[in-house]
Amino acid sequence: MKTKPENKTDQIFLMALAQDILKTEHSKKTIELEFVDVRYGTCEEKTDFHCRITIPLWAKTRRTESYLYSYLIHEVTHVIVGGCHMHDRYFKAKETKLLKEYMGITQVHYSRAYVKKLIRNGQVIYDRGY
Ligand SMILES: [Zn+2]
């Protein structure tokens, strides 16, 4: 399912943010980003220098803005670390670093692959609740 027109601004903003993160991380990769009606987001390497990120619509509509940004950072982390580091310690270290740099997150709680709680200076800004 394709993005609705009213979501375009967000899509462009998030793409710019993602590209900015990649540049700062010295990645030469470019990305395209799409909101899709799926359960999980993806990061697909189309070529050595181009990736397609998808973010599920529910991450945008059913959660907080902070969660949406953290979801984007999760997929961008995949672009940076590459496919061989699926949610391992290296991946999480990079993701945690980016969450701190771009969202000021000071504490990240993980549930296997995904963040379940995000804390900024002692304040819980996202809590999955289970
Ligand atoms: Zn992932």
C-alpha 92 to ligand 1 mean position (Å): 10
Per domain, the residue ranges of the chain are: 5-104
**pTM for this structure?**
0.88
Rounded Cα gap, residues 72 and 15, in angstroms:
9
How far does the centroid of ligand 1 lie from the alpha carbon of residue 79, in Å?
10
Residues 99 and 70: beta-carbon distance below 8 Å: yes
Q: What span, in angstroms and rounded, lies between the C-alpha atoms of 113 and 122?
A: 23
Tell how far the Cα of 26 is from the centroid of ligand 1, in angstroms: 21
Q: Which tens digit of pLDDT belongs to each residue from 61-83?
A: 777 888 899 999 999 999 999 87
| Cα 41 to averaged position of ligand 1 atoms, centre (Å) | 7
Distance 83 CA to ligand 1 centre (A): 10
pLDDT (tens digit, 9 = 90+) per residue, 3-52?
A: 454 554 588 889 999 999 999 999 999 999 999 999 999 999 999 899 99
CATH no., domain 5-104 = 3.30.2010.10
